[in-house]
A and B are shown apart, each in its own frame.
Chain A
Amino acid sequence: MNDILKLGGREFTNRLFTGTGKFRSRSLIPKMLEASRSEMITVALRRVDFDEGSENILEFIPKNVVLLPNTSGARNCDEAVRIARIAREAGMGDFIKIEIITETKYLMPDNEETLKATKILSAEGFTVLPYVLPDLTYSYKLVDAGAAAVMPLGSAIGSNRGIRLKEIIEMIIENIDIPVVVDAGIGRPSQAAEAMEMGADAVLVNTAISIADDPVSMGRAFSMAVEAGRLAYLSRMGEETRTANASSPLTGFLR
């Protein structure tokens, strides 16, 4: 099946995006990428050390995987924009995940500042993937601002609580013309499958993979779940109903 996700001039056949944080060892990252066949991975610019002689996290990411630098640590639009520019100047490409957080308890993104940064960075030619609290109105505004995708959170980062904000994410999926990537909160492969069944274009999973006892196998498990969920969505699953539905219609003889 020819099911390709297009983002920023790149084509993705695998719809699981991954992250680099929280791994017990950086050497697990390339192994996880190989097992999951994930084609895009996010990296916090704050953790990248370009100094000579330092261990550079980018060396653990194979060249065929698209880098998605993120603005972790940014507390407002201005900081996010600066971090994005530093990432591009450092040769990390044009993709940028905008992550603006001023609240460290639940790590909720600041949609207002994120929208401003999206406008500025997309005008500068970045492929902008904004991480937001799901909100349909904001999603429309992000489209107008030039976002390449919308990345609503399923629940708080690292919480493993799943797609708690399902209703709103469904509204966004139904109404927004750019790709929707469910980011944050996905703790189990079944939840990733759920997001894909809902019609999400991709999911981004970090914590659930990186802190598993075996992150490599877990990466593979997530990839399979994403594929299954996507296939189910494309195959147009049956509607969920309260009454029993015989596989052979009762009124079939009339036709």
Chain B
Amino acid sequence: MSFLGTVEKYENFGFDGYFASVTDDDVKKSIVKEKLTEKDLLNLLSPSAENHLERMAKRSHELTMQYFGGVISLYIPLYISNYCSNGCVYCGFSANNSIPRKKLTLEEIEKEALIIKKTGIKHILVLTGEAESTAGFEYVKESVGLLSRHFPSISVEMFPMSTGEYAELKTLGVDGLTVYQEVYDREIYKRMHTSGKKTDYLSRLECPERGAKAGLRLVNIGALYGLGDVRKEAFMNALHAKYLDDKYPDTEIAVSFPRITHSEGNFKPPHELSDWTFVQFLTAFRLFLPRVSLNVSTREKALFRNNILPLGITRMSAGSKTFVGGYAESEKGDVPQFDISDGRSTEEIIRSIKERGYQPVLKDWEPVK
């Protein structure tokens, strides 16, 4: 059974009724438990738990120190193409937006790689849209093959591939996969993804699993907060992470909490994830999944990123440019996939992590081929 079974199981669950029934006592009990059940997770994600944030934060900090220590792993995203045939109503790279399209040549990719490498960060996340004819699997293979000469650890955030394709990328030096479900609610998913291959909900839902089956050692999932009811989405995302963690013990699972920022097309998200609730989710995830990596990107503001460092974060992006060719040249008029809020340089980010009393880890993998 894939994770679809869990999605179906909770499709008609009365979330609102349950959340309304959660008492302060329920929350307190769930915080101190050693092994949390799905019900405990619901308690911690409920509005009632917002009154217990400090307790949750303390527990989250303890667990994170125990399992990960005072270290934050850093990575840098690299956009190599923004061609996309999907119509996602919230995304700057959507096929429905008439923006300048660009795809880096191998030469340009190398140029970006050399600049990124100077930061000392040896983990990159390579991103493309979904465009089979212009930037398809062959292009991806060439690109990551080249990048593997510079980086010991490469994750891809592209388009859902088959297990065989991920296995092929693995032989070229890819060791990680990032793929967000965006929204677990199937009805909303349909409305948000109007055209292109991404309309296939199930293929996307099972994508992280295909990466794990192919032997990738890091699989990063997430819900894009703003599209659906944030508490339900967080719950389903946490269960998804647990499902993967249980089923693929040799793959490290990571979770991100992306919130919709301004993007091309001026999409107004129907739901909002406040800072307060963001922290609640972050700590609830840590309590429910002590060993899972929790990732925060430069979508978040610098001050907020600094403040949430002790709350459970173990992984961060740094120095991100969210447009194609962003490192080598910052041409005016280039359209980003989303606006970044933390515009600090990599050096500044590294320095502030140290100042906050954490050790930034710039390299955490040695490929053995």
A interface residues (Cβ-Cβ under 8 A, vs B): 21-26, 45-49, 51, 53-55, 73-75, 78-79, 82-83, 86, 102-105, 158-160, 207, 210-211
Shortest C-beta distance, A71 to chain B (Å), equals 9
Q: Are B361 and A104 in contact (CB under 8 A)?
A: no
Interface string of B221-253 (1 = CB under 8 A from A): 000000000000000000000000100011110
With A21-B69, A24-B358, A207-B69 as contacts: A49 and B249 at CB distance below 8 Å: no
Q: Are A82 and B368 in contact (CB under 8 A)?
A: yes
Q: Are B249 and A22 in contact (CB under 8 A)?
A: no
Q: Are A104 and B291 in contact (CB under 8 A)?
A: yes
User: Quick one: closest A residue to B71, CB to CB?
Assistant: A22
Chain B contacts for A24, CB-based, 8 A: 69-71, 357-359
Most buried by A among B249, B252, B362: B249
With A47-B361, A54-B362, A82-B368 as contacts: A104 and B70 at CB distance below 8 Å: no
Q: Are B66 and A207 in contact (CB under 8 A)?
A: yes
With A24-B357, A46-B364, A54-B362 as contacts: A104 and B69 at CB distance below 8 Å: no
Q: Are A23 and B69 in contact (CB under 8 A)?
A: yes
Name 12 extra pairs, CB < 8 A, besides A24-B71, A104-B291: A22-B65, A26-B359, A45-B366, A49-B122, A53-B120, A75-B250, A78-B368, A82-B368, A86-B366, A104-B251, A158-B67, A160-B66
In the assembled complex, B18 has its CB within 8 A of some CB on chain A: no
With A82-B368, A83-B368, A104-B291 as contacts: A47 and B70 at CB distance below 8 Å: no
- Please name the 5 residue pairs, one residue from A and one from B, whose CB atoms are nearest each other, closest first: A22-B69, A24-B70, A82-B368, A49-B363, A46-B366
Chain B contacts for A51, CB-based, 8 A: 117, 120, 122
Chain A contacts for B359, CB-based, 8 A: 23-26
Chain A contacts for B249, CB-based, 8 A: 102-105
Chain A contacts for B71, CB-based, 8 A: 21-24
Chain A contacts for B291, CB-based, 8 A: 104-105
In the assembled complex, B68 has its CB within 8 A of some CB on chain A: yes
Q: Are B364 and A47 in contact (CB under 8 A)?
A: yes
Chain B contacts for A26, CB-based, 8 A: 359
Q: Are B69 and A83 in contact (CB under 8 A)?
A: no
Of the candidates A54, A75, A211, the one whose C-beta lies within 8 Å of that of B120 is A54
In the assembled complex, B365 has its CB within 8 A of some CB on chain A: yes
In the assembled complex, B29 has its CB within 8 A of some CB on chain A: no
In the assembled complex, B354 has its CB within 8 A of some CB on chain A: yes
Interface string of B337-369 (1 = CB under 8 A from A): 000000000000000001001110111111010
User: Quick one: closest A residue to B67, CB to CB?
Assistant: A158
